[in-house]
Structure formats: structure tokens, C-alpha cells
Amino acid sequence: MLATMLYAPGDVRVEERDEPVIQKPTDAILRLTATCICGSDLWPFRGLNDVSSPMAMGHEYCGVVVAVGSDVKTVKPGQFVVGSFVLSDNTCPHCRHGFQSSCEQREFMTGGQAEYARVPLADGTLIATDTMPDDDLIPSLLAASDVLGTGWYAADAARVQSGSTVVVVGDGAVGLMGVLAAKQLGAHRIIAMSRHKSRQDLALDYGATDIIAERGDEGVARVKELTQRIGADAVLECVGTQESMQTAINCARPGSMIGYVGVPHGVQFDGQALFFSQTGMIGGPAPVRRFLPHLLDLILTRQINPGRVFDLELPLADAAEGYRAMDERRAIKTLLRP
Ligand SMILES: [Zn+2]
């Protein structure tokens, strides 16, 4: 089968690999319908994470089950499934508290940018749809696997509720999904920080009420202007740099919550500044599994269309071009068709 491997920064190859097989009784094997490239895949692509040996890339996936291990009970061959990018048993204490991304048996999905993939902990990770979904829903269903679930978690962690004033820091795919989530959760005002016209337009379509193109202190000053100097009730941090994190903290009003889902790279916190900011923070890898049933329902009943975040679609064989397009910001997010 074809699979996407990262050999070194900038060196993505789609090559023939052995098809995955059941290794544990809790595994499932999927024939992937669609997969995609994540913003976090760009960290090793850009050399910001170590690449010691060829990495099997891809953790966002949906497809049809072709085989299951002997212990798997909730999915069966022939079913269409969507799974979280974090593999979880969905039974341990952390899972039962809704933090499947800190599951005691947690693993991170790999090898999803391929024709077939092995999904460990299938029962606790995958959700099957009742019927085979229409093809035009595939991008949105795929989005639920990570990017939508992560944006949703940012809004949930930031305690967005009916009437909230929300700031979304970051106009990547996750930030745009954060806008969609904030709208669904009833936010009254959604301020999206974005400098790129195409992303601003999509943010507005997803429910943003205001766009701020300025960054850093200037961006914070604009948020303060728009909120009568109060700041936001909820802030979604969707980048992971020092500047974006500082912007998020500075935009948040006392008593507010910050949901931070950009994987921090080189971010330092100032204890006294946090103390006096009087803001709360929850971040980390999104417990997508908690939200998946609701998100799939919203998609299958066509209430949301997160799949629009994919503005480039390529055959799996052209994955390297998909990485370059995202790295050079020619594309927001690349969908790959095996
Ligand atoms: Zn668990």
C-alpha cells in the first residue's frame, strides 16, 4: 500500500509499505476514505521537532473497517468510522471524566496518511455511522477527527456559553474551527484575529463578528477597544507561540477562561503576571472522543460544514506537495484521498 513517511525535515515521501495487520485483540484495520495534513505535522516537517527515523505520518482519518481484533465489540467490518487522533480505552477514570486525551492507555495515532491504517483501542476510539455517508460529507467527517474536535475543545475549555464575547487567537484551521464552535455554543460576539483575506472570509462565514488584523500589543489594544476595555469572556489560543499565548492572556478579562490548543513551542509563563491576570487556563491535546458523537450528529444532519476548512485536495501520492502548500501558507489545510 502507499503510505506517507517523513525522512527528515522537508523530506516527505509517499512509498510502498506493508499493509497493517491486527497486532492486538483491541485493534481495528481501516481502509481510509480520506485523511489530511495537520498543522502539527508541520513542526517536524520544518525541523522544529526531532526526526530520528522515518516517521509514519498522519493522525486524522476516517474510513471503512476491514478487520477487527477478537475483543472489539462496537465496530465491525463494513462500517464507516471516524476516530480521534488520540487513542483511548474510553473506560479508565480520566476517560470517564471526559479527558480521553489523558487516557491511562493513551497512544497517539500514526500512519493515517496511507491507504490502510491500524487503529489500536478501537472500541474506545472509533464511532461508526449508521449508514455509509454521502461523499460530500466526507471532508466534514474527517475534520471531526482532530481539527474540528480541537477547535471545539478550545471553546469548551474556554467555557464559551450563550452570550459570550470570544476572542480566537490564530487563523489556522484549528482557529477557524474554534470560531465555528464558539458560534454553535451561543457566543454573541466572536473576534477573530487574522491577517489573511481568505481566512478572514472563512472566519466571517463561520460566525466571526469582528476581524482584527493586528498582532501582539496592537491586537490586544484593538480587542480592548471592541470590548469597552473589559476584555473577552473566553479566549481560544490556537497557535502555540510566546506571542500568541501572551496575546491570549492579555485579551482575557479577569475571571475568564483561556482554552489553549496550539502545542506550545518555546512558551514561558510569568507566574506573577498570571497571578494578577486572574484568568483560568485549560489546554492540552483535545479529548476529541468526548465530542465525537455530538459533532458527527451535527455534521450528518448538515447543521455545520467544517469541511470547508480544506482548501486543497490531492491524491495521497501527492502528499509532499500538500505539506509544501501548507508550509508556504498557500493552503489552510490539505485533504488527501487514498
Ligand atoms: Zn482511558
Domain boundaries, the chain: 2-146+287-337, 151-283
User: Alpha carbon of 41 to those of 75, 100, 101, 158, 264: distances in Å?
Assistant: 28, 21, 18, 25, 14
Cell numbers that stand for 49 in this block: 521537532
Distance 106 CA to ligand 1 centre (A): 7
Q: Does residue 254 carry a pLDDT above 90?
A: yes
Phi and psi at 236, nearest 5°, equal -105, 115
Distance 91 CA to ligand 1 centre (A): 5
Q: Does residue 69 carry a pLDDT above 80?
A: yes
Q: Does residue 105 carry a pLDDT above 80?
A: yes
pLDDT for res 239: 94
Q: DSSP string of 180-196?
A: HHHHHTT-SEEEEE---
Q: Which of 185, 164, 74 is nearest to 122 (CA)?
A: 74
Distance 120 CA to ligand 1 centre (A): 13
Distance 323 CA to ligand 1 centre (A): 32
Distance 29 CA to ligand 1 centre (A): 20
pLDDT for res 209: 98
Cell numbers that stand for 207 in this block: 460566525
Distance 224 CA to ligand 1 centre (A): 41
Q: Which of 270, 267, 299, 307 is nearest to 283 (CA)?
A: 267
Q: What is the pLDDT of residues 43-61, one digit of tens each?
A: 899 988 777 789 999 999 9
Encode burial over 169-198: b for 16+ CB neighbours within 10 A, e otherwise.
Answer: bbbbbbbbbbbbbbbbbebebbbbbbeeee
The C-alpha atoms of residue 300 and residue 62 are separated, in whole angstroms, by 14
Distance 327 CA to ligand 1 centre (A): 34
Distance 22 CA to ligand 1 centre (A): 21
User: Alpha carbon of 267 to those of 29, 161, 234, 241, 248: distances in Å?
Assistant: 38, 28, 20, 6, 12
Distance 308 CA to ligand 1 centre (A): 32
Specify whether domain 2-146+287-337 bears CATH 3.20.20.70.
Answer: no
The C-alpha atoms of residue 296 and residue 316 are separated, in whole angstroms, by 24
Q: Does residue 68 carry a pLDDT above 90?
A: yes
Residue 56 three-state SS: strand
pLDDT for res 62: 98
pLDDT for res 46: 92
- Stretch 291-306: mean pLDDT: 98
Residue 78 three-state SS: coil
- Stretch 196-202: mean pLDDT: 95
Cell numbers that stand for 48 in this block: 522544529
**For the ranges 37-41, 164-168, 185-189, 333-337, which has the lowest average pLDDT?**
37-41
Distance 58 CA to ligand 1 centre (A): 22
Mean pLDDT of the chain: 96
Radius of gyration of the chain measured on its C-alpha atoms: 19
Pairing of strands 165-169, 189-193: parallel
pLDDT for res 48: 80
Distance 94 CA to ligand 1 centre (A): 6
Q: Which amino acid is at 275?
A: F
Distance 270 CA to ligand 1 centre (A): 32
pLDDT for res 155: 98
Cβ neighbours, 10 Å, residue 325: 19
227 band by pLDDT with thresholds 50, 70 and 90: very high
pLDDT for res 53: 84
Distance 121 CA to ligand 1 centre (A): 10
**Fold category of 151-283 in CATH:** Rossmann fold (3.40.50)
pLDDT for res 298: 98
- Give the global pTM: 0.96
- Stretch 237-244: mean pLDDT: 95
Distance 210 CA to ligand 1 centre (A): 39
Distance 102 CA to ligand 1 centre (A): 7
pLDDT for res 49: 77
pLDDT for res 52: 78
